[in-house]
């Protein structure tokens, strides 16, 4: 199925933007996104950009807008349907309660930073907007952090696909590893900032 989609997009030329846009909007949803190869699809788009089929700047813009729209829909569904709906229906797509607890805990601890960083981990990306909506995060705040994450995600993966050329499959494997490094670095930065502030408060108390 995926091989057919690759050939199909390659034969469409500029119409490939529309296919990528529609697929990625669907891929951003909490249940459907668990079974769809979002990162690989963006890498393939980058590969086609490297072959001159698609324009890389337009491609990044299209993917960013699709992800922002799809995540906004996911946020709205989270507000309307809630956690129990996701637990009930997500099991059909391999979602376990402990996965959702992990995402929920990360959001509760890091808020907007978790929304931004979630784009670089496949399991978190489709779930985080739903969780943010369920947790009643203010939409303006969600939109800001999510849009920044979508643009960064689109830029990184299109660039990887563009540079990898026909080795995009290997890039797809490395992308998952890179995502873990990115999120680990983000969490480390947050921890260091928190420690610095805590140390400053302790110093103020001593004085």
- Structure confidence by residue, pLDDT tens digits, 56-90: 999 999 999 999 999 999 999 999 998 888 888 77
The residue ranking higher by pLDDT, 198 or 32, is 32
| C-beta of residue 168 within 8 angstroms of C-beta of residue 106 | no
Q: What is the C-alpha to C-alpha distance for residues 126 and 194, in angstroms, rounded to an integer?
A: 28
Q: What is the pLDDT of residues 128-158, one digit of tens each?
A: 999 999 999 999 999 999 999 999 999 998 9
Mean pLDDT (the chain, rounded): 77
Which tokens is 181 given?
A: 């490094």
Q: How many domains does the chain have?
A: 1
- Rounded to two decimals, the pTM is 0.73
Residue carrying structure tokens 């922002």: 68
Let me know how long the chain is: 207
Q: Which residue range(s) make up the domain with 134?
A: 2-206
In this structure, the number of other CB atoms found within 10 A of the CB of residue 123 comes to 17
Q: What is the C-alpha to C-alpha distance for residues 42 and 160, in angstroms, rounded to an integer?
A: 9
pLDDT at 101 over 60: yes
Going from the C-alpha of 53 to that of each of 38, 44, 56, 182, the distances in angstroms are 19, 11, 9, 29
pLDDT at 33 over 80: no
Q: What is the mean pLDDT of residues 96-121?
A: 85
pLDDT at 126 over 70: yes
């Amino acid at each position: 199925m995926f091989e057919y989609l690759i050939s199909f997009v390659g034969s469409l030329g500029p119409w490939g933007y529309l296919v990528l846009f529609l697929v990625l909007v669907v891929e951003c949803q909490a249940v459907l996104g668990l079974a769809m190869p979002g990162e690989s699809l963006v890498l393939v788009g980058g590969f086609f950009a490297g072959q001159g089929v698609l324009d890389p700047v337009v491609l990044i813009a299209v993917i960013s807008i699709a992800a922002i729209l799809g995540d906004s829909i996911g946020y709205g569904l989270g507000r309307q349907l809630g956690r129990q709906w996701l637990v009930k229906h997500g099991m059909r797509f391999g979602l376990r309660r402990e996965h959702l607890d992990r995402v929920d805990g990360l959001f509760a601890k890091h808020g907007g930073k978790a929304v931004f960083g979630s784009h670089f981990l496949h399991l978190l990306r489709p779930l985080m907007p739903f969780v943010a909506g369920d947790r009643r995060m203010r939409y303006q705040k969600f939109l800001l952090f999510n849009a920044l994450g979508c643009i960064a995600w689109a830029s990184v993966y299109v660039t990887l696909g563009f540079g990898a050329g026909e080795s995009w499959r290997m890039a797809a494997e490395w992308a998952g590893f890179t995502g873990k490094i990115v999120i680990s670095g983000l969490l480390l930065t947050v921890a260091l900032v928190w420690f610095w502030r805590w140390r400053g408060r302790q110093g103020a108390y001593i004085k």
